[in-house]
Amino acid sequence: MSQEINRREFITTSLLAAPVGAIATASAADAPSATKPKTPTQSLPMGQIGGDLKVSRVILGGNLVNLFMHSRDLRYVNQLSEQYHTDDRILQTLAVAEENGVNTMSLSNRVRAMSLLKRHRNERRGKMQWIICPITKPDDSMKGYREEVERLAGEGADAVYMHGGMSDALLAAGRVDLIAKAVEIFKSQNVPGGIGAHDLGVVDACEKANIPNDFYIKTFHHLEYPTAPKPEDMKKPCAEVPGYWCKDWKAVAERMKSVKKTWIAFKIMAAGAIPPKKAFQWAFEGGGDHVLVGMFDWQIAEDIALARTAIEKAKANRQRPWCS
């Protein structure tokens, strides 16, 4: 007579019977590597920003380092990310990204973030480039802002930009002049300078003022996902609840057609609500020169494969010329 074995008993028995060497091998395979990132097996198409900065079409987002995950009203998600993203896990993620052809990361200036980026470069001999946004608030003197930018450039930032939350607020306050001053500071450090934005009005105002920024980091996603807000819910340029970061994608795509500067499209998956396959294709065909996306280490290889396909298809379908 056969004896019934439930799932828990089977797993327990199997683990007890497994050779110690097999368990050790599995653990070693999961452990972060301390070696130099491997040479990419496949190249990822590149663009060029600010004259000579070669940047992969896919840029790694910085939320995994700064531990801010857009999670709408799911309050546990940031804690979950913090438990997963140990220092070693983050360093592994940077290495995996490089191995898949991603050569640039974008994030805000935080102590832990900068420490890990330096470890990746100095201890693990990584080549990941940094596009950093200062966290000092601009003011009339711009003294603190300038000091932070100078420090970032001295520490190895490859490009610097103004955070979208800051530029949105400055536009609302009628202080586009401070956005212009920030770009002047970026330029004084001989690094490409950019402007982030959720509000399309930032792009309009900066173009009207002829601000000589090298690139925009502008949100771009459609609203065809189950949790998308209704039109009456979209009272601001963006909101965490309901989750949206691009109010009118058609207006963005149309406006960016006449902008000759590099456009790094971000929030293309509406913080996880839109599948990457659709988001990549949609963003590149819609005019983005690069996409800025947050990826866990285990997502990178698949996402980059999808991006490569999307970039190739977009060559025949996009209306906006490549500006990078």
pLDDT tens profile 260-316: 999 999 999 999 999 999 999 999 999 999 999 999 999 999 999 999 999 999 999
The yes-or-no verdict on residue 75 having pLDDT over 90 is no
- Give the span between the Cα atoms of 183 and 194, in whole angstroms: 7
Any domain includes 287:
yes
Residue range 73-93: mean pLDDT, rounded: 89
Higher local confidence (pLDDT), 86 or 82: 86
Instruction: Count the domains in the chain.
Output: 1
Q: Of 59, 82, 57, nearest to 71 (Cα)?
A: 82
Any domain includes 174:
yes
Tokens read off for 113:
């973030």
The pLDDT value recorded for residue 39 is 73
| Predicted confidence (pLDDT) per residue in 194-240, tens digit | 999 999 999 999 999 999 999 999 999 999 999 999 999 999 999 99
Q: Percent of the chain at pLDDT above 90?
A: 78
Residue 51 pLDDT grade (very low, low, confident, very high; cuts 50, 70, 90): confident
Those residues whose C-beta lies under 8 Å from the C-beta of residue 300, and which sit 6 or more positions away, are 93, 96, 97, 100, 102
Any domain includes 191:
yes
Three-class SS state of 270: coil
Those residues whose C-beta lies under 8 Å from the C-beta of residue 177, and which sit 6 or more positions away, are none
Q: Of 317, 284, 272, nearest to 44 (Cα)?
A: 284
CB count in 10 Å sphere of residue 205: 20
Tokens read off for 110:
């935080």
Three-class SS state of 73: coil
The yes-or-no verdict on residue 53 having pLDDT over 80 is yes
Any domain includes 1:
no
Any domain includes 2:
no
Those residues whose C-beta lies under 8 Å from the C-beta of residue 219, and which sit 6 or more positions away, are 164, 197, 198, 238, 245, 246, 252, 265, 266, 267
- Give the span between the Cα atoms of 99 and 106, in whole angstroms: 17
Check: pTM over 0.85? Answer yes or no. yes
| Predicted confidence (pLDDT) per residue in 112-145, tens digit | 999 999 999 999 999 999 999 999 999 999 999 9
The yes-or-no verdict on residue 1 having pLDDT over 60 is no
Residue 12 pLDDT grade (very low, low, confident, very high; cuts 50, 70, 90): very low
The pLDDT value recorded for residue 35 is 60
The yes-or-no verdict on residue 102 having pLDDT over 90 is yes
Helix locations, 176-286, DSSP H: 176-188, 200-208, 249-256, 276-285
Report the mean per-residue pLDDT for the chain. Answer: 89
Q: Of 161, 236, 162, nearest to 199 (Cα)?
A: 236
Q: Of 232, 225, 226, 175, nearest to 205 (Cα)?
A: 175
- Domain containing 28: what range? 7-317
Give the pairing type, strands 46-49 and 53-56. antiparallel
- Give the span between the Cα atoms of 80 and 74, in whole angstroms: 11
The pLDDT value recorded for residue 42 is 67
Handedness of CA 144, 149, 61, 97 (dihedral sign): negative
The yes-or-no verdict on residue 17 having pLDDT over 80 is no
The yes-or-no verdict on residue 7 having pLDDT over 70 is no
CATH number for the domain that contains residue 119: 3.20.20.100
Residue 63 pLDDT grade (very low, low, confident, very high; cuts 50, 70, 90): confident
Three-class SS state of 105: strand
